[in-house]
Amino acid sequence: MAAAPTTPPTMRAVQYDAYGGGAAGLKHVEVPVPSPKKNELLLKLEAAAINPVDWKIQQGLLRPLLPRKFPFIPVTDVAAVVVAVGSGVTRFQAGDHVVAMLNSLYGGGLAEYAVASESLTVKRPPEVSAAEGAGLPVAAGTALQALRAIGAKFDGTGKPLNVLITAASGGVGLYTVQLARLAGLHVTATCGARNMELVRRPGADEVLDYKTPEGASLKSPSGKKYDGVVHCTVGICWSTFEPVLSDSGKVIDLTPGFSAVLRWALQRLSFSRKQLMPMLVSLTKEDLEFLVGLHKDGKLKTLIDSRFALSDVTKAWERSMEGHATGKIIVEM
């Protein structure tokens, strides 16, 4: 269907038209406002969050699957107001405030308008700001899925597992710390010295500075073995994880390389109880509703590293590529 009558025919957007190039490869353009299909919503974007996967796709990490085609408007995590709905949409109407994860194949988040599938859009209550809501889909969705893979339960029926969270100061890590505490887990976290207090505040019981020998060893100061690790960084070998895991401890690897996938396959073939498990987030509407609900109730917070206007998006892109964000990097439209 066509956009609402008040919607302009064109919009500001930021896109790239080839692999590589980093922030310098981003171009400010004026392009047609997209039209929602039957089960889609047209959104006027308020905020978008940059995730490392956004610039990794630009680098060619998922070549040739993503981007589906060039030019490509990157970024999937948005908060927005609904301006028009497709004929098959039943849960939303114009004027609703929402949080959505856009289709990874087509992106679209660095723009004034975007189309979202109804199936990955949820209402945003007034208690959750647009910037906070935009932070949630990929980062908090990954945290939730990784903790569930370790055995965390959020209904009070789970075991009090010991969990290690690496890079706990990052976008995924800070949500993971909070969700792990909500699930009643004992949390050990790694981060840089400057962020130790910040990571302790939302719920880490023990914090290790990753640049010290103790931090690099991943050993819990209280001697606990980990039932699960949510591994949010790179460059740590299995030989470092193995001695700090409990008998059936699992490492959920969020940035698996080829060797991690190979190790996972071999461990499965050998029925190894300790396991390295590669994970790719697969968000559901129910998960997003759960996360927005926790945020509304004040049980989950989005820590915002920095905010940028769309006109300044190259700075946001560079900030994410540097790898030193503390929480989420937000672009406001």
Ligand X SMILES: NC(=O)c1ccc[n+]([C@@H]2O[C@H](COP(=O)([O-])OP(=O)(O)OC[C@H]3O[C@@H](n4cnc5c(N)ncnc54)[C@H](OP(=O)(O)O)[C@@H]3O)[C@@H](O)[C@H]2O)c1
The least CB distance from residue 114 to ligand X, in Å, is: 20
**Cα 197 from Cα 93, distance rounded (Å):** 43
Q: Does position 55 bind ligand X by CB under 6 A?
A: no
Is 138 a binder of ligand X (CB under 6 A)? Answer: yes
Residue 188 found at the interface with ligand X (CB under 6 A): no
Nearer to ligand X, 169 or 178 (CB): 169
- The yes or no reply on residue 48 touching ligand X (CB under 6 A) is no
Contact call for residue 232 and ligand X (CB under 6 A): yes
Question: In the beta sheet, which residues pair with residue 231?
Answer: 166, 253
The correct pick among 281, 288, 316, 331 for binding ligand X (CB under 6 A) is 281
- Among positions 36, 107, 137, 170, the unique one binding ligand X when judged by CB under 6 A: 170
Q: How far is the CB of 142 from ligand X (least distance, A)?
A: 4
Of 166, 178, 188, 220, the one binding ligand X by CB under 6 A = 166
How far is Cα 191 from Cα 88, in angstroms, rounded to an integer? 46
CA separation, residue 73 to residues 193, 198, 268 (Å): 36, 33, 39
Query: If we measure between CA atoms, which residue out of 166, 189, 176 comes closest to residue 143?
Result: 176
Please choose, out of 15-23, 102-110, 189-197, 220-228, the segment that lies near ligand X by the rule CB under 6 A: 189-197
- Could you tell me the CA-to-CA distances from 234 to 181, 237, 238, 250, 256 in Å, in that order? 24, 9, 11, 16, 8
- Smallest separation (angstroms) from ligand X to the CB of 133: 16
Q: Verify binding: residue 167, ligand X, rule CB under 6 A.
A: yes
- Token pair of 288 as six digits: 């997003």
C-beta of 51 vs 188, nearer to ligand X: 51
Contact 224, 159 (CB under 8 A): no
Q: Is 187 within 8 Å of 203 (Cβ atoms)?
A: yes
In the structure encoding, which two tokens stand for residue 209, read together?
């500075």
Q: Which residues contact 269 (CB under 8 A, 6 or more apart)?
A: none
Count of residues in contact with ligand X, rule CB under 6 A = 30
Q: Which is nearer to ligand X, 44 or 181 (CB)?
A: 181
Which residues lie near ligand X (CB under 6 A)?
51-53, 138-139, 142, 166-167, 169-173, 190-192, 195, 210, 232-233, 254-255, 279-281, 320, 323-326
